[in-house]
Amino acid sequence: MSSIGNITFACQDPAKLASFWAAALEYDIQDAPPGMLEAIAEQGGDLNMAAAIVDPLGKGPRLLFLKKEKTITTSIPIHLDLNTPDREQEVARLVKLGATEIETKTHTIGQYTSVWTVMKDPEGNGFCVQ
């Protein structure tokens, strides 16, 4: 059986995007393994080549941010859905953190109605808040 090791984002600024998602999800920024930053610096590498955040309770997935080119797409084929008891309040909080609100959608099937807001993080990666 497999399990999720990381949800990985291609991005321009791993540290900045990790900070946004850590604040959005109340995650912790994961420290680099001992000696790794020193080894990267000694080799003249980019100290902001990767960043990761983890759930402090150990229940949620690890999010990994890698500095690399993003694939251009016109839709959001794979994205995060954030659940919250107060969607409008959470959208406002995320906008203050640097997200962009795109649109709010509603879908009704019989007596069941779903409402969610499509958003983008500071680097344009799509996600939804419901």
List the domains of the chain with CATH numbers: 1-72 (3.30.720.120), 73-130 (3.10.180.10)
Angle between helices 87-97 and 14-25 (to 10 degrees): 150
Output the pLDDT for position 1.
66
Task: Please give the biggest Cα pair distance in the chain.
Answer: 62
**Percent over 90 (pLDDT), the chain:** 58
Query: pLDDT (tens digit, 9 = 90+) per residue, 22-33?
Result: 999 999 999 888
Please state, for a pLDDT cut of 70, what percent of the chain lies above it: 96
Split at pLDDT 50, 70, 90, the class of 13 is very high
Residue 2 pLDDT > 60: no
CB 118, CB 128: distance < 8 Å: yes
Task: Please compute the mean of the pLDDT values over residues 42-62 and round it to a whole number.
Answer: 91
Q: What pLDDT, on a 0 to 100 scale, did the predictor assign at position 91? A: 97
